[in-house]
């Protein structure tokens, strides 16, 4: 049965969607079956995966009860579009509105090893749905002064999700994203997070590079566009699989083989 990981942050532009896309790429290359769910009305993840803009149904129809999740899977992606913003409003007054994604995913969990959920940059109902549906929460924090504050707010949200709906939600950790570790600013941010949250902070930081925007524009994974930078995501995936436990050991072994040429 799939392990579901919600990727979130309190603020926008911390590299969540890039992380979901790239982690999905790496995990698939490790032989794992991965479903990527776009929970953001911006639809960035759907664009990254080149889902046709007219693809239907989307996550909006699933959340409003007009489609089954199975039918909203297009090449192992459940896309989102602006219609999701309206769907979120429609949900606001409904009973059990926080549980819809969890229920919808139940039917497909056997078909995947990992389900990655890309949350919008707001701690609203969509993100709550992502958290309630998830086994794990992965926080992306941009290497900036307010990173710590952002993490504190997201952790508050995890606590609420746990208390109200999902006792089993585990905080997988926080990754420092879009980081330039040559600057004292990024190093200080990392040190602060480490001091506060210890082992929850991933050893791997994702380096900042314009190559990410370029690779997105060209529709090429960073793993192929700039394998030297993609190595950060291979290292992050290794830590992530370790945290997911022994069931994922075969995936880690495959990952080691993927990483080997890059180390030459």
Ligand X SMILES: Nc1ncnc2c1ncn2[C@@H]1O[C@H](COP(=O)(O)OP(=O)(O)OP(=O)(O)O)[C@@H](O)[C@H]1O
By CB under 6 A, the residues from 106 to 145 that bind ligand X are 121
Q: Which does 13 bind (CB under 5 to 8 A by kind): ligand X, Mg ion, none?
A: ligand X
Q: How far apart are CA 168 and CA 152, in angstroms?
A: 19
**Short-list 7, 29, 197, CA closest to 120:** 7
Confirm or reject binding of residue 17 to Mg ion (CB under 5 A). yes
Q: How far apart are CA 252 and CA 264, in angstroms?
A: 19
Q: Which does 12 bind (CB under 5 to 8 A by kind): ligand X, Mg ion, none?
A: ligand X
Least CB distance from residue 32 to Mg ion, whole Å? 22
Binding mask 150-179 for Mg ion (x = CB under 5 A): ------------------------------
Binding mask 158-197 for ligand X (x = CB under 6 A): --------------------x-------------------
- Residue 98: asked if its preceding bond is cis (omega within 30°), the reply is no
User: Residue for token digits 């940059």?
Assistant: 121
- Residue 84 near residue 40 (C-beta atoms within 8 A): yes
Which stretches of the chain bind Mg ion, using CB under 5 A?
16-17, 44
Which stretches of the chain bind ligand X, using CB under 6 A?
9, 12-18, 40, 42, 44, 121, 178, 206-209, 212-213, 216
């Amino acid at each position: 049965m799939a392990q579901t990981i919600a990727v979130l942050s309190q603020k926008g532009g911390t590299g969540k969607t890039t992380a979901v896309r790239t982690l999905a790429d790496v995990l698939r290359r490790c032989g794992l079956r991965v479903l990527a769910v776009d929970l953001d009305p911006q639809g960035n993840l759907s664009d990254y995966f080149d889902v046709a803009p007219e693809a239907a149904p989307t996550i909006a129809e699933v959340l409003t009860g007009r489609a089954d999740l199975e039918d909203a899977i297009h090449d192992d992606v459940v896309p989102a579009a602006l219609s999701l913003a309206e769907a979120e409003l429609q949900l606001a007054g409904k009973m059990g509105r926080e549980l819809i994604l969890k229920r919808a995913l139940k039917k497909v969990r056997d078909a995947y090893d990992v389900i990655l959920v890309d949350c919008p940059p707001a701690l609203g109902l969509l993100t709550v749905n992502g958290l309630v549906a998830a086994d794990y929460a992965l926080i992306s924090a941009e290497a900036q002064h307010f990173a710590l504050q952002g993490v504190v707010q997201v952790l508050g949200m995890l606590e609420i999700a746990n208390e109200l709906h999902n006792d089993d939600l585990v905080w997988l950790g926080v990754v420092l994203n879009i980081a330039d570790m040559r600057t004292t600013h990024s190093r200080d941010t990392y040190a602060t997070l480490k001091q506060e949250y210890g082992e929850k902070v991933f050893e791997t930081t994702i380096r900042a590079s314009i190559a990410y925007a370029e690779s997105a524009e060209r529709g090429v994974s960073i793993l192929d566009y700039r394998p030297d930078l993609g190595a950060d995501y291979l290292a992050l995936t290794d830590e992530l699989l370790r945290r997911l436990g022994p069931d994922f050991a075969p995936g880690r072994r495959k990952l080691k083989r993927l990483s080997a040429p890059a180390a030459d």
